[in-house]
Structure 1
Amino acid sequence: MNQAIDQEGDEQALGSGEEPLGPGGAWAMAVGGMIGGGIFSTLGVVITVAGHWTWFSFMLGGLLALASGESYSALTRQIGKSGGSYAYLRELGWNRAALAVVWTLIAGYTLTVSVYAVTFGAYAANVFHAATWAKLFAAVAAIVVLAGVNLMGAAQATLLEKVAVWGKLMILLALAGIGMWHWAPERLLLQAGQPVGFGAALVGMGVVFMAYEGFQLLSYDYDEMRDAPRTIRVAMPAAILVTMATYMMVAVGATMLAGAPAIVQQEEVALALAGREALGLAGFIAVSIAATFSAGSAINATVFATARLAESAALDGELPALFASRDERDVPWFGTLVISGVAIVLVLIGNIASLVEGASLVFLLIFALVNWLAVHCRAGRRWVSICGLCGSLAGAVMLLLYLLDLV
């Protein structure tokens, strides 16, 4: 019966002129959602905290994301529909909690869109040594263009995602490889002779966790997938593993090229600096292109999925009915425009640096909730969800202590 439902959903999607997401497209969406502003805008932040243990902070975050991904995937397959943590709570009849979560998630995702846009603008303007206004202009333009791509439909958004993801992965891995070839572990230290303690890696994991926000977007795209149970089960862990490996390699290789102090000093465009050290002007341009591709694909993936989350809540009567409106291309246009518009406002008026840490805290708490729900609902492997729950809470506590300047 479930197979018949899946086939019917695929036929409806194809009938509407859109191609459902297969494992490759879903994988690209998840990787694009994570490696967006991720490594490009957070590397300097986590090095400030974790020093030469930065690679370990990324590994801890990746393992936590992998455990949480197991919970998301199992819960989504269990209820058989899109919606993520919001849908899980609705399925249990906890509607008030679901309403609070959906508004929190939409706000958090809109914030991440603005962070990715700022990253896009910073790297794009840096190539031309442009003024501050050019950074803002490029950031706003990125949101406007990618909102337009989303309004064209899922097939166009997925094609862009595949091209952007493979392009940035090749450039990042090449940068990491060159850096590790010129092995220089002393350049990982913030201050010579004063290594950071191992415990800082735990704090670093909490601070940088926003870099792993994005894989769970697939739980909102479930209804857009071909053979959805298999697609989400395969694509989600594969995307997390590739992202974790990339982050760890770049954290070591890029830092060995540019040196930890230089990356912290120029954290907004840190990897462009490493690219220049690796291959001169060509490396600088290549990494800047990768950063803009990366931030652009993250904007695309986040807007794509968040608009569908808002649509799901509107169909349940939790959000205004306009969020459930679809245009002639079968796209939730109102949610796409609202999310993009608010993100533009945040780019123009917000202090993104401090909000990034706040967003990391929000997602750690949301992931703790999802892992707990997986245990409660007996979805997936219980021990994996318990590890995810403990890790999420530990990361949230460490980040909160850091924000309160207690560690």
Structure 2
Amino acid sequence: MADDKMNFNATWAMAVGGMVGGGIFSVLGVIIQSAGEWAWLSFVIAGLIALVSAHSYNQLSIKYGEGGGAFTFLRKINHQGFAGSLSWILILGYILTLSVYAFTFGHYVAHIFELGSWLPRVLGVAIIALLTFINLKGVSNTSTFEIITVYGKLLVLLGLAVYGLAEWMPEQLTKGVSPKPWHAAIMGAGTIFMAYEGFQLLSYDYNDLKNPDKTLPKATIWSVLTVIFIYVLVTLGTTMIVGADTIIEKKEVALSIAGKMAMGTIGLVIVTIAAAFSTGSAINATLFSTARLMENVAEKKDLPHLFVKENDENIPYYAILIIAALASALAIIGSLSSLVDAASIIFLFTFGTVNFIAFHQQAKYKWICFTGSILCGLAIVADIIEKIEKIPFSLIGLIVISVSLFVFRPYILKKIK
């Protein structure tokens, strides 16, 4: 029924929740380490790329009148082979994102108890296991719950930002670290792009939106603008409270440290609760959406038929279990910086592809779409150049895995039915 479909408020909340869900809690320390006092500008640059990409996603969703995102867009222009390969890369990106969310959840919650370095990894795996069980039982978040949690965490983040900005001390931006040139912001933007991953999930839910041709563009554009604003304020405000050196040193729990310094134990608890709910809801939504994506891809015979199988609750259980297992493994063995960086590159590549498709398909304001594809490409190149100097084993591994998926996907599909 039409009344059951998501209106603008619910759609906006879902998009904001998808981005902020693990975004700022996960990447703040990573970006300050990379861009220093220009971290706020990195968020603006990455946000502008996301804004352009949102336009392309919106135009293609409206053009084809159905959900499915990049996988559907490529199939519509008869690039089935590339669509299948990109879907595999995109699924890998979502698994990496899940591992980042789980990693972040574990560290924020464990920070309160301080029982040892083993606890964050255990908690990260535990939250994935719990939400996997919930998803298999067919229980999911309602849009009303999502709206409440989104406004709650935005209130906490804004409160923290305002507290810090009120104590404006510019010297905190370079406290204990060497100043960075302004162009470090360009390099940094590619590194933390995954902080804007999430709005595109709405393109999967096109048919669940009320008046989607109007609601989808309006909600996604305003959600990205909102998140840019929040990220800039939180970056500056938090740095004013604790200083750049502390955020880098404690990057896994930077916002909790800021909360404690601002309001003592109460601040620590409030920020930890916000982080736990935020990352937990992001894990739940991403786990479910990725499983549905795998099911959709498998139905088109671009993944083994195994992933089409559903349980009694109509949940693709093999997909859920495989995603959860891989994300758990990455959360155990990965570092925050390497996981964030790998996920960012995958989403830059995917968004760049969608921007180019929109340009090729003569979408409205196609010059915006073309600009988006160029910006995504430049951000990837900038990120790779920066990482090459540091012997990036994680980056090399990502490239090898991605190329292998493109090359060997047809053979894998023939062997595994």
Say whether the fold is shared (TM-score over 0.5).
yes
Whole-angstrom CA distance in 2 between matches of 1:394 and 1:190: 30
Single out whichever of 37-46 and 85-94 deviates more from structure 2: 37-46
Whole-angstrom CA distance in 1 between matches of 2:179 and 2:117: 35
Match for 2:226: what amino acid?
A: V
Single out whichever of 244-253 and 270-279 deviates more from structure 2: 270-279
2:81 counterpart residue number: 96
1:166 counterpart residue number: 151
CA contact (8 A) 1:365 1:392 kept: yes
CA contact (8 A) 1:77 1:229 kept: yes
Measured against aligned partners, the alpha-carbon deviations of 1:155-182 in whole angstroms (never above 9, x if no partner) come to 6353442232222111001000100011
CA contact (8 A) 1:66 1:240 kept: yes
1:245 counterpart residue number: 229
2:98 counterpart residue number: 113
Whole-angstrom CA distance in 2 between matches of 1:82 and 1:183: 45
CA contact (8 A) 1:31 1:165 kept: yes
Distance 1:176 1:64, change over 3 A: same
Single out whichever of 274-283 and 300-309 deviates more from structure 2: 300-309
2:332 counterpart residue number: 348
Whole-angstrom CA distance in 1 between matches of 2:9 and 2:140: 12
Distance 1:55 1:350, change over 3 A: closer
CA contact (8 A) 1:160 1:297 kept: no
Q: Which runs of 5+ in 1 are unaligned?
A: 1-9
1:7 counterpart residue number: none
CA contact (8 A) 1:29 1:301 kept: no
Alpha-carbon RMSD across the aligned residues, in angstroms, is 2.1
Shift of 1:154: 7.5
CA contact (8 A) 1:82 1:312 kept: no
Single out whichever of 83-92 and 383-392 deviates more from structure 2: 383-392
Match for 2:167: what amino acid?
A: H
Single out whichever of 158-167 and 235-244 deviates more from structure 2: 158-167
Shift of 1:119: 0.2
Single out whichever of 347-356 and 180-189 deviates more from structure 2: 347-356
2:71 counterpart residue number: 86
Q: Give 1:275's match in structure 2, choosing from 253, 259, 270.
A: 259
CA contact (8 A) 1:150 1:156 kept: no
Match for 1:59: what amino acid?
A: V
Single out whichever of 274-283 and 143-152 deviates more from structure 2: 143-152
1:334 counterpart residue number: 318
Residue 369 in 1 paired to residue 353 in 2?
yes
Whole-angstrom CA distance in 1 between matches of 2:192 and 2:266: 29
CA contact (8 A) 1:35 1:211 kept: yes
Whole-angstrom CA distance in 2 between matches of 1:404 and 1:379: 36
Whole-angstrom CA distance in 2 between matches of 1:358 and 1:341: 18
Q: Find the residue that maps to 2:141 and give its secondary structure.
A: helix
Whole-angstrom CA distance in 2 between matches of 1:381 and 1:243: 23
Q: Give 1:403's match in structure 2, choosing from 384, 387, 394.
A: 387
Q: Give 2:165's match in structure 1, choosing from 172, 180, 201.
A: 180
Distance 1:387 1:199, change over 3 A: same
Shift of 1:328: 4.7
Residue 75 in 1 paired to residue 75 in 2?
no
Whole-angstrom CA distance in 1 between matches of 2:142 and 2:152: 16
Q: Which runs of 5+ in 2 are unaligned?
A: 392-417
1:26 counterpart residue number: 11
Whole-angstrom CA distance in 2 between matches of 1:150 and 1:372: 34
Whole-angstrom CA distance in 2 between matches of 1:118 and 1:321: 31
2:50 counterpart residue number: 65
2:408 counterpart residue number: none
Whole-angstrom CA distance in 2 between matches of 1:90 and 1:53: 40
Q: Find the residue that maps to 1:156 and give its secondary structure.
A: coil
CA contact (8 A) 1:150 1:157 kept: no
CA contact (8 A) 2:6 2:209 kept: yes
Measured against aligned partners, the alpha-carbon deviations of 1:314-354 in whole angstroms (never above 9, x if no partner) come to 22121233433444544444323332232122223334431
Q: Find the residue that maps to 1:221 and give its secondary structure.
A: helix
1:3 counterpart residue number: none
Shift of 1:136: 2.0
CA contact (8 A) 1:30 1:301 kept: no
Q: Give 1:297's match in structure 2, choosing from 269, 281, 284.
A: 281
TM-score, reference length from structure 2: 0.88
CA contact (8 A) 2:28 2:235 kept: yes
CA contact (8 A) 2:97 2:339 kept: no
Whole-angstrom CA distance in 2 between matches of 1:25 and 1:144: 27
Q: Give 1:223's match in structure 2, choosing from 176, 197, 207.
A: 207
Measured against aligned partners, the alpha-carbon deviations of 1:282-333 in whole angstroms (never above 9, x if no partner) come to 1111111111111112112211221221122122121233433444544444
Whole-angstrom CA distance in 2 between matches of 1:256 and 1:352: 23
Residue 48 in 1 paired to residue 30 in 2?
no
TM-score, reference length from structure 1: 0.90
Whole-angstrom CA distance in 1 between matches of 2:281 and 2:26: 15
Task: Give the share of equivalent positions with the same residue, in percent.
Answer: 42
